[in-house]
Amino acid sequence: MMSRLFSLALLVAALTVTGCSSSDSTNILEDADQAAIDAYDAQAAANEAALNGYDGVEK
């Protein structure tokens, strides 16, 4: 029973490692038009403004 469980764990680990390794990097903004880039930049600025002064402690 332990041997089967260990074998299953090794199989899952091997599949996880091979599934996570990808030689292709992706860029979601690669084919974006200027309007999408501007919207992304605006959202990033809004997120920065919302987090301004946040120290990680809930008040």
Assigned domain for 58 exists? no
Assigned domain for 9 exists? yes
Report the number of distinct structural domains present in the chain. 1
pLDDT digits (tens, 9 = 90+) for 10-38: 888 877 765 655 566 666 666 778 888 88
Residue 49, pLDDT score: 85
Number of Cα atoms under 13 Å in the Cβ half of residue 24: 4
Write out the residue range of the structural domain in which residue 18 sits.
2-53
Mean pLDDT of 44-56: 82
Mean pLDDT of 35-54: 87
pTM above 0.85? no
Assigned domain for 47 exists? yes
Q: To the nearest whole percent, how much of the chain has pLDDT over 90?
A: 8
- Which residue has 């469980």 as its token pair? 5
Assigned domain for 59 exists? no
What is the token pair recorded at 47? Answer: 């997120």
